[in-house]
Chain A
Amino acid sequence: AIQLTQSPSSLSASLGDRVTITCRASQGISSALAWYQQKPGKAPKLLIYDASSLQGGVPSRFSGSGSGTAFTLTISSLQPEDFATYYCQQFITYPLTFGGGTKVEI
């Protein structure tokens, strides 16, 4: 199975900060990567698919980049509602796998 390693596992940031989260795949996955946001007690929400395509309704401060084995999720200016845990997921092959998550805290 393809392993996805996210870094950091947690980070502290302030309102207005630029935040970057990294996801590395154990083998090349082209651009078949999605990013999700999960708040406590809630279901995950799709932010980005195909590494850089913004899901409808998601604010433009979220962006994704990368291909092959290295990917990033960037929040250009952190807002109060962005404090959450973020997961990457590969969809190039089965079994579908998620990264371990990055918790963004104040």
Chain B
Amino acid sequence: EVHLVQSGAEVKKPGESLKISCKGSGYTFTSYWVAWVRQMPGQGLESMGIIYPGDSDTRYSPSFQGQVTISVDKSTSTAYLQWNNLKASDTAMYFCARGVQLQRPSPFFDSWGQGTLVTVSS
């Protein structure tokens, strides 16, 4: 069974750094994309970016380019989302999701992590 398990909730101050994780199991980690999706309080879903663990090919959505870094550690089947300078506006729930690419240029998401709540407050 496919599982994506995310790291726990975080409370940070503005200006601090943070790296959250998403560990995949039950499938060949290097053969599927992993995406990060933001959901701000009471709002909808926003795709932040996506990485292919097999070759670390990474695509960022324009709104998030330069604001976050997505990476992966193949040896531990773990994907990461990192900030170097958190802002209060980064307060949100962050989901990772497994991307399935079926004869299309880009993937949809068939399995999701449980979410990591990030709170940024002074």
Contacts and interface: CB of A to CB of B under 8 A. Distances in A.
Contacts of A32: 104-106
Contact of A89 (B100, B109, B111): B109
Interface residues of A, number: 25
B108 A44 contact: no
Contacts of B61: 1, 94-96
A83 interface: no
Interface in A33-88: 34, 36, 38, 43-46, 49-50, 55, 87
Interface string B61-105: 110000000000000000000000000000000010100101011
A44 B108 CA distance: 12
A59 to B, nearest CB: 17
A1 B109 contact: no
B44 A96 contact: no
Contacts of B9: none
A43 B113 contact: yes
A44 B4 CA distance: 13
Interface of B: 35, 37, 44-47, 50, 59-62, 95, 97, 100, 102, 104-115
